[in-house]
Structure 1
């Protein structure tokens, strides 16, 4: 089984970044990846170029790193286009403090919003539903969230709700830009 078939998590990608001498969080690039897949269908080659540019290298150090970075793109695309609507942003998990998780969400949102700012014009926005527009309009505020938070149940619940909002906005954007993908079941059709 190749690395492309394995489920990548935040630590897997962060390890690849470290191997390339980068201490940056993958969350920012994951936000960009999600928006790029929704708006431009970024190719595997273009994605590898973007990651390498961000890491300050010409190409991945080795085949395993390249496969992991390409697997990250494939995993994100598969989740965005799946009928299960199970896409989740690549963020620090429960092994990290809530402050680190909040910082990851903040960076993910910054990356996502950056692509929206680069790629979306008024003509495109006019084709989107009011629900999507409202969800996307909330994201710039999310990119400014306070990250110096204590590990408390209340903060954990708030962070979960904010992450869920970002996740849903990402899936709605993908779905509206790719009608028929995923094949979302219509719940308002009468049952015979």
Structure 2
């Protein structure tokens, strides 16, 4: 008996999307920002097809077309994998961010870039106004905007900064799931609902 793989099994890693950007000579955007853009589009509630994703990705990468078929496959896998993660009732969604082998400062910068991408995608794909969003959504958007400008606190030691970064990453992850669940009630009709953590 064979087990069918889900799109989550093929979702690219951070370095794979970074390699795509290098291969396509798109150095003005980061892999984290590309993933954030996709998540912002998907959570805004409007119909966002694979074709629209490819158009948005090329626009963000500032290229008219892709040079390599492997780049197209990676971007398609990213779209399908993230959508599958968000629809998974076990909340398997995770942020596409660099591993711990990069410096703390680089990882903090990547999280800020992710949030910038998310805000762009959410703003462009949705027809939202302040009156169409819940208080929790408005607060989360304000928080994401603040996190997009986050910087390393040089007065704290590395352990404190590491813990702070982990807390911010988890807040962003859960806020993203909250946006998706509220804009896709049919796909997320289970009894569980991701609880939005409090940002300190």
* Same fold, TM-score > 0.5, yes or no: yes
Structure 2 residue 43 is the aligned partner of structure 1 residue 35: no
Aligned to 2:101: 95
Residues 91 and 105, structure 1, Cα contact 8 Å, conserved in 2: yes
Residues 99 and 151, structure 1, Cα contact 8 Å, conserved in 2: no
SS of alignment partner, residue 41 of structure 2 = helix
Residues 89 and 190, structure 2, Cα contact 8 Å, conserved in 1: yes
Note the C-alpha offset of 1:144.
1.2
TM-score (norm 2): 0.81
Q: Distance in 1 between matches of 2:153 and 2:16?
A: 25
Q: Which runs of 5+ in 2 are unaligned?
A: 194-200
Deviations 1:129-185 (A, max 9, x none): x43433333111111111476882211110000011111110000000011423433
Q: Which runs of 5+ in 1 are unaligned?
A: 188-192
TM-score (norm 1): 0.84
Residues 32 and 113, structure 2, Cα contact 8 Å, conserved in 1: yes
Aligned to 2:146: 141
User: Match for 2:112 among 91, 106, 110?
Assistant: 106
Note the C-alpha offset of 1:20.
0.5
Q: Distance in 2 between matches of 1:22 and 1:46?
A: 19
Aligned to 1:10: 14
Note the C-alpha offset of 1:56.
2.6
Q: Distance in 2 between matches of 1:145 and 1:13?
A: 23
Structure 2 residue 171 is the aligned partner of structure 1 residue 174: no
Assess, with a 3 A threshold, how the Cα gap between structure 1 residues 136 and 97 changes in structure 2: closer, same or farther. same
Assess, with a 3 A threshold, how the Cα gap between structure 1 residues 61 and 87 changes in structure 2: closer, same or farther. same
Q: How does 1:64-143 map to 2 (within 5 A)?
A: 64-118=70-124, 119=126, 120-125=128-133, 128=134, 130-143=135-148
Aligned to 1:190: none
